[in-house]
Amino acid sequence: MYEPKWDGFRGALVVGRRGHGLWSRQGNDMTDRFPDVAAAAGDQVEVGTVLDGELVIWNGSRLDFDLLQRRLVNPGKKATTLAARHPASFMLFDVLAVDGRDLRNQTLQQRREVMELLAKGWCPPLQLSPGTRHEVTAREWFVDYRPAGIEGLVVKGATQRYRPGRREWVKVKSRETQEVIIGAVTGPITRPGTVVAGLVPDGDLVIVGKSVPLSRSQAASLATVLEPGRPEHPWRDEVSSSRFGASRTR
């Protein structure tokens, strides 16, 4: 069974007689971080159901992990405001229980059939993650879904039972390569710490990220070809670290 690898946060939706909740893999309660998803579960999912899936947030036609992280650290009223601004989605890819009945000993193919029946009556933010047993289709997804921020594919055995705590899925990540301009380094040019990369999307050289820390040998080799920035260099000598790890580039 081939499924998209979502750029999101794994979670379990539990709907019981005493209420419903959303939990992380580490057992943390995330219900107040995602009130939109929790409310939909209470309205659309039958009591006694446990669902496994991925929390994601769409920003236009692309997934946005930065927006998802904001939801993870903002509970209460702030989460409600963020939910109204950027709603989350729960992409279901497994079901552990229905009507209080444990399904973990059933095969993935059997559980998939149950999921498809459940999802017929759903509407966003609850959605069934696409799945196929055809390799040709999966290879098309691998390419076609990349612009939307899909990280690749998850390959699962159709006859596998659900085994908590065991890593039995194969994750095939999609990788893209792109030429960049080394516009700067962090640290002194005699002992650079990381490489700062830039691109010229609209005529201006903008920062797009930095490398992992350089090893001693890499730093020593790079130092032999580095020169101080000239007055015409478009970047300042110092830039805020907030430029790294965020979606903005300017």
The boundaries of every CATH 3.30.470.30 domain in the chain are 2-173
Is residue 178 predicted with pLDDT exceeding 50? yes
Asked if 15 and 45 count as a contact pair (C-beta separation under 8 A), the reply is yes
CATH class, domain 2-173, is alpha beta
3-state secondary structure of 56: strand
Distance CA 201, CA 173 (A): 26
- For residue 125, say if its preceding peptide bond is cis, omega within 30 degrees of 0: yes
Cα angle 28, 164, 90; round to 5: 55
Is residue 221 predicted with pLDDT exceeding 80? yes
pLDDT confidence bin for 240, thresholds 50/70/90 = low
pLDDT at 249: 43
pLDDT at 243: 56
Is residue 20 predicted with pLDDT exceeding 60? yes
Backbone φ, ψ for residue 162 (5° rounding): -85, 115
**Average pLDDT of the segment spanning 9-36:** 91
pLDDT at 157: 94
Is residue 27 predicted with pLDDT exceeding 90? no
**Bigger pLDDT: 217 vs 163:** 217
The residue among 53, 47, 38 whose CA lies nearest residue 5 is 53
Is residue 48 predicted with pLDDT exceeding 70? yes
pLDDT at 244: 60
Cα separations (Å) of 123 from 23, 149, 211, 218?
21, 22, 41, 52
pLDDT at 247: 43
pLDDT at 239: 66
Concatenating the DSSP letter of every residue in 63-103 gives E-HHHHHHHHT--HHHHHHHHHHS-EEEEEEEEEEETTEE-
Is residue 242 predicted with pLDDT exceeding 70? no
Q: What are 229-238's pLDDT values in tens digits?
A: 888 888 877 7
